[in-house]
Amino acid sequence: MQDVSLSTLDLAVITAYLAVVFYIGFRMARQTHDAEDLFLAGRRLTWIPIGLSLFASNISSTTLIGLAGAAYTWGIAVANYEWMAAPILVVFAIFLIPLYLEARIGTVPQFLEFRFDRRVRMYFSLLTIFANIVVDTAGTLFAGAIVLTVFIPGLDLLSAAFLLAAVAGVYTAAGGLAAVVYTDVLQALVLLAGSAIIAVLAYAELDYSWAVLSAATPPEHLSLMLPLDDPNLPWLGTLVGVPVLGFYFWCTNQFIVQRVLGARDITNARRGVLFAGLLKLPVLFLMVLPGVMAGVFLPGLERGDAVFPAMIAHLLPSGLAGLVLAALVAALMSSIDSTLNSAAALVTLDFIKPIRPGLSPRRIAWIGRTAILVFMVLSAMIAPVIGGFEGLFHYLQTALAFLVPPVVAIFLYGIFWKRAGPGAALLTLLGGHGLSAVLFAATVGGVLELHFTLIAGLIFAVSSAIFLLAGSLMAPPRPGQIDRFTYRRSITRATETGAWWQDYRVYAAVLMVLTVWLVAAFW
């Protein structure tokens, strides 16, 4: 699409937004003195910032650009990745949060060391660093670069990626997780407001008529469940692959779990997670359906990833365009800052600190800041390469489909099955990723044509079989290694005494009912 000029008012709105973000970031820097402050916000986060930060960090990597583009191309079934977050976050709140917080871990791989051994921790930490930089951060920078090149004529993808990385990297290095979370609060609010504005204006293009949309749109584009042979998201992939990808992302991915580890207590952690699940349900209406509607009033775009900036240019007057573009920048930066901080936490806490235990907390914090800046440069260099894939959303999900199923297997079974030891976990990771390499080669070579969600389900099934068999045959865990790091009935109890409406299980049940209603309505 052609370049679009921003008015002086638009630029003023964006500038004001960035100024507020930097103010928050550097204000948080005054409270950031050591590694726990930098990576866990001093473990003082409450549920509202946690929930908004989880929402904002997730939205930027899989929605707006990626989701709107996928919806424009093949319909609302892409929202299956969004509503699926709600039941997964319920599982997270009930079973994993108490285990994580009782263990007082700083990184998710550290939990695997407690449950299994240090080899498993190092393996998963390296895998997470790779995914955070190559998949999450680079993908988000690519999305932002697409938009900046549309609105800033003459700007190339690489320069745009470096610009975004520098903006997010500087305040993240200064203020750490506290800066990430509290800027995410602002970013989530701007994001929701901007998405609501563009959604309402998109509906207005169709006279607020579902009948108009239905008449102009193929029926399968308005259904969550697509045929088994659908090339975009077959219904079987939704059932067997999407939950695997979602469990990794919400329950084991450091850049998401990190703000939960920084919670003041288990009550705030659980409420924050369930709040994030509630915020995920309206995404279908605010971010997916407008992409489908754009197919009616903006037909013929060569690339689906261009639809969101095209809607900004087509629908919004001066000032509002700046606000929605600020919302997009907010979404992008909330993911960039999270993944940069996460990758730096993994390097610092999983590798540097164990090797150099005598380092002072302040010294560790400065090493973490340096790592943030290094990863900022690396991810910006990788971002332009993503243009060679079918689309941003396809890139993000395909990469995870090959990487994460073995990890999901050892977490799920490791938490609920006490017999499995470290040897079984390591063998599962090696065997599962060996299969991933074979399937990836077959897919690239054109020998295998299987949707990535089905590939994720297949790799998870084989990894599960390896773990269960190896767990039965190999040495069990060390004595005393199990009790604190596996499921027991006491961890599901209410975290507060008092009125029934304070029980997190009530909130979880309401969230599940709303999710079932949403899926049934658009089945």
Q: DSSP string of 380-406?
A: HHHGGGGGGSS-HHHHHHHHHHHHSHH
289 pLDDT above the threshold of 80: yes
In the chain, what percentage of residues exceed pLDDT 90? 25
Q: Residue 254: which pLDDT band, with cuts at 50, 70 and 90?
A: confident
Q: Residue 1: which pLDDT band, with cuts at 50, 70 and 90?
A: very low
Q: Give the tokens for residue 264.
A: 């003041």
305 pLDDT above the threshold of 60: yes
Let me know: does 32 contact 174? Beta carbons within 8 Å: yes
Query: What are 99-108's pLDDT values in tens digits?
Result: 999 888 888 8
Q: Give the span between the Cα atoms of 363 and 286, in whole angstroms.
A: 44
Backbone angles phi, psi at 264, to 5 degrees: -65, -40
Query: What are 357-386's pLDDT values in tens digits?
Result: 777 767 776 776 677 777 777 777 766 665
387 pLDDT above the threshold of 70: no
The 3-state secondary structure of 19-54, one letter per residue: HHHHHHHHHHHCCCCCHHHHHHHHHCECHHHHHHHH
In the chain, what percentage of residues exceed pLDDT 70? 81
What pLDDT, on the 0 to 100 scale, is given for residue 170? 62
Cα-Cα-Cα-Cα dihedral sign, residues 393, 299, 329, 75: negative
- Return the closest-CA partner of residue 85 out of 450, 523, 521, 514: 514
User: Range with the lowest mean pLDDT among 32-46, 113-127, 433-447?
Assistant: 32-46
319 pLDDT above the threshold of 80: no
Largest CA distance in the chain: 69
- Return the closest-CA partner of residue 202 out of 358, 360, 308: 308
Let me know: does 223 contact 234? Beta carbons within 8 Å: no
61 pLDDT above the threshold of 50: no
User: 373: exposed, middle or buried (C-beta count within 10 Å: 0-12, 13-18, 19+)?
Assistant: middle
DSSP track, 186-214: HHHHHHHHHHHHHHHHHHHHTTT-HHHHH
Q: Give the span between the Cα atoms of 127 and 107, in whole angstroms.
A: 13
What pLDDT, on the 0 to 100 scale, is given for residue 478? 76
Which of residues 520 and 399 earns the better pLDDT score?
520
The 3-state secondary structure of 422-452, one letter per residue: HHHHHHHHHHHHHHHHHHHHHHHCCCCCCCH
What pLDDT, on the 0 to 100 scale, is given for residue 489? 83
Out of 139-148, 364-373, 435-444, give the one with best mean pLDDT.
435-444
Q: Give the span between the Cα atoms of 184 and 303, in whole angstroms.
A: 29
Angle subtended at Cα 344 by Cα 339 and Cα 345, rounded to the nearest 5 degrees: 95
> Which amino acid, one-letter code, is at 126?
L
Q: Residue 465: which pLDDT band, with cuts at 50, 70 and 90?
A: very high
259 pLDDT above the threshold of 70: yes
Cα-Cα-Cα-Cα dihedral sign, residues 299, 139, 252, 30: negative
> Which amino acid, one-letter code, is at 246?
G
393 pLDDT above the threshold of 80: no
Let me know: does 269 contact 263? Beta carbons within 8 Å: yes
> Which amino acid, one-letter code, is at 163?
L
What pLDDT, on the 0 to 100 scale, is given for residue 295? 85
How far does Cα 495 stand from its chain's mean position? 27
Q: Give the span between the Cα atoms of 508 and 514, in whole angstroms.
A: 10
What pLDDT, on the 0 to 100 scale, is given for residue 178? 62
344 pLDDT above the threshold of 90: no
Which of residues 394 and 253 earns the better pLDDT score?
253
Q: Give the span between the Cα atoms of 341 and 348, in whole angstroms.
A: 10
390 pLDDT above the threshold of 70: no
Which of residues 68 and 337 earns the better pLDDT score?
68
Number of residues that make up the chain: 523
Query: What are 154-188's pLDDT values in tens digits?
Result: 777 777 777 776 766 665 555 555 666 777 777 77
403 pLDDT above the threshold of 80: yes
- Mean pLDDT, the chain, as a whole number? 81
Q: Give the tokens for residue 97.
A: 């949060």
Which of residues 240 and 157 earns the better pLDDT score?
240
52 pLDDT above the threshold of 80: yes
What pLDDT, on the 0 to 100 scale, is given for residue 3? 47
Backbone angles phi, psi at 234, to 5 degrees: -65, 150
Let me know: does 459 contact 442? Beta carbons within 8 Å: no
Mean pLDDT of 388-411: 76
What pLDDT, on the 0 to 100 scale, is given for residue 31? 61
| Those residues with Cβ within 8 angstroms of residue 17's Cβ, 6 or more apart along the chain or in another chain | 190, 326, 329, 330
Query: What are 26-37's pLDDT values in tens digits?
Result: 676 666 555 555
Q: What is the DSSP letter of 505?
A: H
- CA-based R_g, the chain, Å: 22
What pLDDT, on the 0 to 100 scale, is given for residue 2? 44
What pLDDT, on the 0 to 100 scale, is given for residue 310? 82
Q: Give the tokens for residue 485.
A: 């790091």
Q: Residue 317: which pLDDT band, with cuts at 50, 70 and 90?
A: confident
What pLDDT, on the 0 to 100 scale, is given for residue 488? 85
CA distances (Å), origin 169, targets 27, 35, 67, 195: 15, 17, 25, 25
Domains of the chain: residue spans and CATH = 8-521 (1.20.1730.10)
Which of residues 356 and 243 earns the better pLDDT score?
243
Could you give the count of Cα atoms lying within 13 Å of 330 in the half-sphere of its Cβ?
33
How far does Cα 204 stand from its chain's mean position? 31
What pLDDT, on the 0 to 100 scale, is given for residue 104? 87
Let me know: does 459 contact 436? Beta carbons within 8 Å: yes
Mean pLDDT of 190-217: 87
Q: Give the span between the Cα atoms of 494 and 246, in whole angstroms.
A: 25
Let me know: does 343 contact 132? Beta carbons within 8 Å: yes
User: Range with the lowest mean pLDDT among 258-267, 387-396, 421-430?
Assistant: 387-396
Q: Give the span between the Cα atoms of 64 and 70, in whole angstroms.
A: 10
End-to-end Cα spacing for the chain: 34
pTM of the complete model: 0.83
Q: Residue 457: which pLDDT band, with cuts at 50, 70 and 90?
A: very high
